[in-house]
Structure 1
Amino acid sequence: MTKYNTLLYYCYSTIADAEQFATDHLKFCKSLNLVGRIIVAEEGLNGTVSGTAESCNTYMDTLHADPRFARVDFKVDEVGEPSFVKMHVRYKSEIVHSGLRDPHIINPEKKTGKHLDPKDFMAMKDRDDVVILDVRSNYEHSLGKFKNAVTLDIENFRDFPAKINELAQLKDKKILTYCTGGIKCEKASALLLHEGFTDVYQLHGGIIKYGKEAGGQDFEGKCYVFDNRLSVDVNQVNPVVISTCYNCGKITDKMINCANPECNEHFTQCDECGTAMDGCCSDDCKAHPRKRVYDGTGYYVKVPQPVNVKKAKVQLAD
């Protein structure tokens, strides 16, 4: 039986001619029959790829052999089938969109919060002088989060900078930031330091690594992931379900995307409502003429877009 792996990783490291690198890297990934999604920017790489164990090992070995990516910390999951359908490598201005491009404010290669390995994070998280800060979006922390974590009302990570003022009263605390794999914390912790927070930490490797190395203790619910699994289990010690169905309020940990592609909302929905609503969040979406066929998973393959083609100027404002 063929064994498959899914790799989650990121690396902040300067890439000269990142657009050309993205084009070449797509060819390399396809040569290994990998599927997944990788973002390339001048500041580094952010990716999730999936394929046979052999292909994934070759991919990891190749990146580690490149001095720019020698320190990449791959999070490896064994999966029953590849976690994507296609392979995309895209050039963007940032590998995680913060809207802050001034290197004097945000430069993860030079200054971030202190990295904590999962066991050290677990040892610190319940102290009275500590605040655990979730830097992910609403739909992510509604599905699962650390017990007693502070969450922010943000739709996307680019909304995080505007929320810093809401945390001002916590400046005398040790701030422990966390996210899925660690990439958002690199910029979030750097911004907190810039804004006058003095004792800032980040969970190295994020929730995924914490689950693997610390058993996921006190992470409540599931962790949202950006592939066709949509969510993964983390807590092997004291698991609970904290999310509820968007439509009926019943306890459920099933995360889907709305079947209406013009909505595409991430939300939790029980199987009963999934059937009744045909995978949609509302009656309006259910009646939408472009509604996709709901197969019970709530995952939809994105419509292919041209690779590495710059957006028109009118779109860059977003």
Structure 2
Amino acid sequence: MQEILNIAAYKFVGIDDASMLREDLRSRALSAGLMGTILLAPEGINLFLAGAAEAVRGFLAGLRADERFADLETKESWSATQPFRRMLVKCKREIIRMDHPAIQPAAGRAPGVDALTLKRWLDQGHDDAGKQIVMLDTRNAFEVDEGTFEGAVDWRIDKFTQFPQALEEHREALVGKTVVSFCTGGIRCEKAAILMREEGVADVLQLEGGILKYFETVGGAHYRGDCFVFDGRRALAPDLSARSTHASARAPEDPDLAIKH
């Protein structure tokens, strides 16, 4: 029976009280019996949590009472067991490390495309302007090997900090096309989309909510394989069920990496 609610969420928003917020969120999460990871940085919040549904939703209600997180959107899935071993709340320089000053919360989000629109584009083979679509996987190579969109471009990076260099090497191949960057839950592909626009790639969109929101909304259309996740489930099928996989032994065990989206 699937009794554990798993949520993934992030938001780029200015945070100048991370240390104080850390103690508050840690206390509330532990009191609710939740496990997972929350990262806080000047650029925003990034979290993966799991627990009883009532406890998770109660924690989210308290978090959204802070006007900075009032519109925080989550991706949901269910599991029979708790996929995390502990509850961590950490303050970091970035909520997803890129080592590039691409994100400025005050400047707004990267433009995006929702799952239903993307499926329609993929069904018809082009966007609404008739342009060729390039699906750009911004995840690490071992994640891509678990599953990805049909025909997706994969630069075989081993960590997200390599993305800026990979972009420099492959940028010309993206010119004149509609590029849709995607990742597990949206955070890496949003940073990637902002960087690509800064570097002169004109038509770039992020997949809103990443693969998890796509699965939640339209299932596995145009996707092959599973979606690697950084917790005890290892990978999710398009119906968001946990599936036994042959995931690479290179998969990180570091709790800081266990929150990647």
- Please give the range of the TM-score, normalised by the shorter of the 2 chains: 0.7 to 0.9
**Whole-angstrom distance in 1 between the partners of 2:237 and 2:172:** 33
**Whole-angstrom distance in 2 between the partners of 1:235 and 1:160:** 29
- The offset of 1:17, in angstroms, is 2.1
The residue number in structure 2 matching 1:274 is none
* Residues 34, 19 of structure 1: alpha-carbon distance in 2 compared, 3 angstrom cutoff: same
* Residues 222, 62 of structure 1: alpha-carbon distance in 2 compared, 3 angstrom cutoff: same
- The offset of 1:62, in angstroms, is 1.2
**Whole-angstrom distance in 1 between the partners of 2:100 and 2:71:** 24
The residue number in structure 1 matching 2:211 is 207
Residues 153-188 of structure 1: per-residue CA shift (max 9 Å, x gap): 211111100111212221211101110000111110
**Whole-angstrom distance in 2 between the partners of 1:193 and 1:174:** 12
* Residues 111, 191 of structure 1: alpha-carbon distance in 2 compared, 3 angstrom cutoff: farther
Question: How is 1:1-318 mapped onto 2 (pairs within 5 angstroms)?
Answer: 3-101=3-101, 105-107=102-104, 109-125=106-122, 126-127=125-126, 129-165=132-168, 166-234=170-238, 253-255=245-247, 257=249, 265-266=250-251
TM-score computed with the length of structure 1 as normaliser: 0.73
* Residues 184, 109 of structure 1: alpha-carbon distance in 2 compared, 3 angstrom cutoff: farther
**Whole-angstrom distance in 1 between the partners of 2:192 and 2:16:** 24
The RMSD of aligned alpha carbons is 2.2
**Whole-angstrom distance in 2 between the partners of 1:179 and 1:134:** 6
Amino acid at match of 1:178: F
Higher-RCO chain (CA-CA 8 Å, sequence separation at least 6): 2
* Residues 162, 112 of structure 1: alpha-carbon distance in 2 compared, 3 angstrom cutoff: farther
**Whole-angstrom distance in 1 between the partners of 2:138 and 2:253:** 26
Match of 2:47, SS state, is strand
How many matched pairs?
246
Match of 2:107, SS state, is coil
Residues 189-214 of structure 1: per-residue CA shift (max 9 Å, x gap): 00000000111111101100101111
* Residues 65, 138 of structure 1: alpha-carbon distance in 2 compared, 3 angstrom cutoff: same
Q: State percent identity of aligned pairs.
A: 31
Amino acid at match of 1:223: C
Amino acid at match of 2:186: G
**Whole-angstrom distance in 2 between the partners of 1:109 and 1:214:** 32
Unaligned runs of 5+ in 2: 256-261
TM-score computed with the length of structure 2 as normaliser: 0.88
- The offset of 1:60, in angstroms, is 1.5
Bigger CA radius of gyration: 1
The residue number in structure 1 matching 2:259 is none
Asked if 1 retains the 8 angstrom alpha-carbon contact of 2:39 and 2:90, the reply is: yes
**Whole-angstrom distance in 1 between the partners of 2:204 and 2:2:** 43
Unaligned runs of 5+ in 1: 237-251, 258-264, 267-298, 303-318
Asked if 2 retains the 8 angstrom alpha-carbon contact of 1:116 and 1:202, the reply is: yes
Name segments (4+ residues, structure 1) moved above 4 Å: 299-302
Residues 77-123 of structure 1: per-residue CA shift (max 9 Å, x gap): 1211222121011111000000013xxx4325525542111010112
Match of 2:99, SS state, is coil
